[in-house]
Amino acid sequence: MDLMPSAEQDEITTTVASFLAARLPATAHASVFVTPGPEIDPVVFRECAELGWLSLGLPEALGGVGYGLAEEVMLFRELGRGLAPGGFLPAVLGARVAAFAGQRELAASIVAGEVLVALATRDRVGADDVSVLHAAEATLLVVCDAAGAALYSLADCTLTPIDPVDGSIRAARGALGGATVASVSSEIDPVFVRGLVLCAAMQAGSAEAQRDLGVAYAGVREQFGKPIGANQAIKHRCADMAVRAEGAFAQVCYAATAADGGADRFVDEAVIAKYFADEAARLNGEACVQIHGAIGFTTETLPHRHVWRAHTLARALAVRAALLDHLVPRT
């Protein structure tokens, strides 16, 4: 038993973080509520694809790099920490659906970053009504739940763009339509579990980033002649942020490793990871803005972008009530 990342896993963190800092730096994007142009520079997205980011956890036999979910977690944690734009999550999930459904060419074009995928979340269990992220440039849409996952053609769906809270992610709402392009059951590949864990990894990265932003500001901002972080009211908020961030990432690691090993109750572990990481990202966002005071309310610093992103990801794949109801069914 060892729940700390291996040297190779740490290496993924370092590589991804330095690429993001150079090519996709997180900025406050002052007063740009909806980023113009494509969500992510297609050239950069393809560079990421060439680095294997979209196929890290796909088996080599299916055209992937052949790592486990534990390695993919290290990548997605950095994407969350760095507020990376782009449909990385639906690309990874969509490629798996295509690959495990036997559509090797489609899978190859997704992992190459040529075919973009959007992420759909059903508004209710079994409903065709969906909320969609990364919708603008995508041609396919992936939707998944505990039973299985499917790809739809975006052109067959009825979607209306919305003005999103997080303007760095194009969002739409509407209904699924047409036949599935590809589908797999969760027995063949638990796509939903992977989605929960990777989304949780992004939220854990965001929770960590907010902890670090809050602590850094508390250490330099002075009032009454001393850094505000010397006051327990601030220090204790920071401590609570640290505990939530540690818990979120620890559970993501456990859930990823459990899923890789096919351990007992690995679905529950993933559900708990998503629930806890959503909460950690949300609560750390509230604490981080509060520590910053008025400046945290403006678009001139980063905290608000984490608030927007955490809010958005908490509505992807499964919301809080659905996650909790999975853990304690009524009957």
Partner 1 sequence: MDLTFTQEELDFREEVRTWLHENVPKEARPHGDRPDSREFDLAWQKAQYDGGWAGISWPADFGGRGLSTIQQLIWYEEYALADAPWIGACFVGINHGGPTLIARASDEQKSFHLPKILKGEVVWCQGFSEPGAGSDLAAIRTRGVIDGDELVVNGQKIWTSFANMAEYQELLIRTGDEQRHKGLTWVICDMRTPGITVRPISTMDRGAEFCEVFYDDVRIPLTNVVGQVGDGWSVAMSTLSLERGTGFMADILHATRTIDELIEECRHRRGPDGRPVLHDDEYARRLAAAKAEITVLRSITYRSISRNIRTGMPGPEGSMLRLQYGDLVMGLSRLAIEILGPDALAYVDRFRAGGWTGNWLRAFAAGFGGGTLEIQRNIIGERVLGLPRG
Choosing from 261, 295, 297, 298, the residue that interacts with partner 1 (CB under 8 A) is: 261
Let me know: does 320 contact 314? Beta carbons within 8 Å. yes
| Binding flag, residue 258, partner 1 (CB under 8 A) | yes
Which segment (125-133, 144-152, 195-203, 262-270) binds partner 1 by CB under 8 A?
262-270
| Binding flag, residue 291, partner 1 (CB under 8 A) | no
The Cα 281–Cα 200 span in angstroms is 9
Which segment (41-49, 92-100, 168-176, 218-226) binds partner 1 by CB under 8 A?
218-226
Q: For the CB of residue 290, give the shortest distance to partner 1 in the complex, in Å.
A: 15
Let me know: does 140 contact 152? Beta carbons within 8 Å. yes
Q: For the CB of residue 58, give the shortest distance to partner 1 in the complex, in Å.
A: 19
- Identify the three-state secondary structure at position 327: helix
| Binding flag, residue 231, partner 1 (CB under 8 A) | yes
Q: For the CB of residue 329, give the shortest distance to partner 1 in the complex, in Å.
A: 9
265 in the Ramachandran plot: left (φ > 0), alpha (ψ -120 to 50) or beta? left
Residue 198 phi, psi (nearest 5):
-70, -35
Choosing from 22, 126, 226, 294, the residue that interacts with partner 1 (CB under 8 A) is: 226
Choosing from 94, 229, 285, 296, the residue that interacts with partner 1 (CB under 8 A) is: 229
Cα–chain-centroid distance for residue 216?
24
Cα–chain-centroid distance for residue 110?
18
Q: Which is nearer to partner 1, 17 or 242 (CB)?
A: 242
Q: For the CB of residue 326, give the shortest distance to partner 1 in the complex, in Å.
A: 8
Choosing from 65, 136, 175, 242, the residue that interacts with partner 1 (CB under 8 A) is: 242
| Binding flag, residue 321, partner 1 (CB under 8 A) | yes
CA angle 6, 196, 193 (to 5 degrees): 85
* Tokens coding 36: 């113009």
How many chain residues interact with partner 1 (CB under 8 A)?
Answer: 51
| Binding flag, residue 293, partner 1 (CB under 8 A) | no
Over 192-215, what HEC string results? HHHHHHHHHHHHHHHHHHHHHHHH
| Binding flag, residue 243, partner 1 (CB under 8 A) | yes
Residue 38 phi, psi (nearest 5):
-70, 155
Let me know: does 33 contact 307? Beta carbons within 8 Å. no
* Tokens coding 213: 């932003």
Choosing from 76, 88, 100, 276, the residue that interacts with partner 1 (CB under 8 A) is: 276
Q: For the CB of residue 251, give the shortest distance to partner 1 in the complex, in Å.
A: 5
| Binding flag, residue 275, partner 1 (CB under 8 A) | yes
- Identify the three-state secondary structure at position 174: strand
| Binding flag, residue 217, partner 1 (CB under 8 A) | no
DSSP class of residue 143 equals: E
Q: Which is nearer to partner 1, 130 or 277 (CB)?
A: 277
Q: Taking Cα atoms as reference points, which of 115, 120, 118, 125 lies closest to residue 42?
A: 115
Amino acid at 245: A
| Binding flag, residue 190, partner 1 (CB under 8 A) | no
| Binding flag, residue 173, partner 1 (CB under 8 A) | no
The residues of the shown chain that bind partner 1, judged by CB under 8 A, are 1-6, 9, 70, 211, 215, 218-219, 226-227, 229-232, 234-236, 238-240, 242-243, 246-248, 250-251, 253-254, 256-258, 261, 263, 268-269, 271-272, 275-276, 321, 323-325, 327-328, 330
